[in-house]
């Protein structure tokens, strides 16, 4: 084998790694697009499962491993977490699909949005179990056909912007807590947040607002999400995780390539002197 071919062979893993990364990114994007198409409102779960006794039983088991340490047997609460007997399907669905639960930090820390810890079927079961514990709000039926964008904008500026900012970028509150940015919330999650008032957020329930007004606010938050990003490179709006991922891939790719070029230059210089065992020679030897 010539030194040149050996050098090209050494590029193979680099090219393969980049190809895998690009395929992965395209895959993630395709998956996100497919989810948007089949589940544009972000239900994630099959709503019929919430009433299914089998889901309730499966959820009870998951609860015993993932939740009981903080919320107590039967959801009665403990010093580490509040009672959730009357939290309802809407609250369980919100907290599980936004990844806020299971809570990672202490009871005084604000739970944050993250990748959900459970898959859709497990979320289905846990929601069914929490809903079975008492009387709480149901998962809302979002109806954007009922929404009025202009009314939604007026309501948003009056009711939400003080905490979440006029653009939905979020902002700091007292007690070291913050109103999160609204860029990732699905329509169902926005509606649920209004129904349950998580953490320091007040409840904007059906006692105060009509269904049409609630849908209009959901619609307006969705419209805010479509405003072009104020900074940075949106990458088809796959979200911050893949963007970081791409930065890492391009960054490591460039560094690897630079290292490779420097390395092969050195090798080229060294080739004049006779080097007893170079890696390429060794592999050729075992290949015979």
Binding site for ligand HEC (CB under 6 A): 66-67, 69-71, 80-82, 84, 87, 91-92, 95, 98, 100-103, 107, 110-111, 113, 126, 130, 159-160, 162-164, 173, 177, 179-180, 182, 184-185, 189-190, 193-194, 196, 198-202, 204, 217, 221
- Pick the closer one to ligand HEC by CB: 218 or 249: 218
What is the distance between the alpha carbons of residues 219 and 137, in angstroms, rounded to a whole number? 21
SS3 for 78? strand
Nearest to 257 by CA among 19, 4, 18: 18
CB of 60 to ligand HEC, least distance (A): 11
What is the distance between the alpha carbons of residues 252 and 246, in angstroms, rounded to a whole number? 10
Q: Are 147 and 209 in contact (CB under 8 A)?
A: no
- Pick the closer one to ligand HEC by CB: 115 or 269: 115
- Pick the closer one to ligand HEC by CB: 49 or 100: 100
Nearest to 223 by CA among 146, 165, 168: 168
Greatest extent of the chain over all pairs of C-alpha atoms, in Å = 86
What is the distance between the alpha carbons of residues 21 and 77, in angstroms, rounded to a whole number? 44
CA distances from 217 to 140, 166, 267 (A): 14, 13, 64
- Pick the closer one to ligand HEC by CB: 77 or 253: 77
What is the distance between the alpha carbons of residues 130 and 283, in angstroms, rounded to a whole number? 60
- Pick the closer one to ligand HEC by CB: 123 or 249: 123
CB of 31 to ligand HEC, least distance (A): 20
CB of 69 to ligand HEC, least distance (A): 6
CB of 245 to ligand HEC, least distance (A): 20
- Pick the closer one to ligand HEC by CB: 65 or 286: 65
CB of 68 to ligand HEC, least distance (A): 8
CB of 10 to ligand HEC, least distance (A): 45
Detail the DSSP E strand segments found in the chain.
171-172, 178-179
């Amino acid at each position: 084998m010539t030194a040149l071919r050996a050098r090209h062979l050494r590029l193979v893993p680099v090219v393969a790694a980049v190809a895998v990364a690009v395929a992965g990114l395209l895959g993630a994007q395709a998956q996100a697009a497919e989810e948007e198409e089949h589940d544009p409102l972000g239900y994630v779960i099959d709503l019929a499962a919430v009433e299914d006794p089998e889901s309730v039983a499966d959820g009870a088991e998951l609860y015993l491993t993932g939740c009981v340490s903080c919320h107590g047997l039967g959801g009665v609460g403990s010093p580490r977490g509040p009672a959730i007997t009357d939290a309802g399907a809407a609250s369980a669905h919100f907290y599980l699909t936004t990844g806020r639960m299971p809570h990672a930090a202490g009871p005084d820390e604000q739970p944050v949005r993250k990748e959900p810890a459970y898959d859709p079927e497990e979320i289905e079961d846990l929601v069914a179990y929490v809903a079975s514990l008492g009387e709480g709000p149901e998962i809302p039926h979002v109806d954007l056909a009922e929404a009025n964008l202009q009314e939604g904008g007026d309501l948003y500026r009056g009711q939400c912007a003080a905490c979440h900012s006029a653009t939905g970028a979020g902002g700091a509150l007292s007690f070291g807590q913050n109103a999160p940015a609204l860029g990732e919330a699905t329509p169902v999650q926005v509606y649920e947040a209004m129904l349950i008032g998580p953490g320091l957020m007040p409840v904007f329930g059906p006692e105060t607002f009509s269904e049409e007004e609630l849908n209009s606010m959901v619609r307006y938050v969705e419209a805010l999400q479509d405003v072009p990003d104020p900074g940075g490179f949106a990458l088809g709006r796959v979200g911050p995780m893949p963007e970081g991922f791409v930065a890492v891939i391009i960054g490591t790719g460039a560094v690897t390539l630079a290292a490779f070029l420097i390395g092969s230059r050195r090798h080229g210089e060294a080739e004049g002197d006779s080097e007893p065992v170079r890696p390429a020679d060794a592999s050729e030897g075992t290949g015979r």
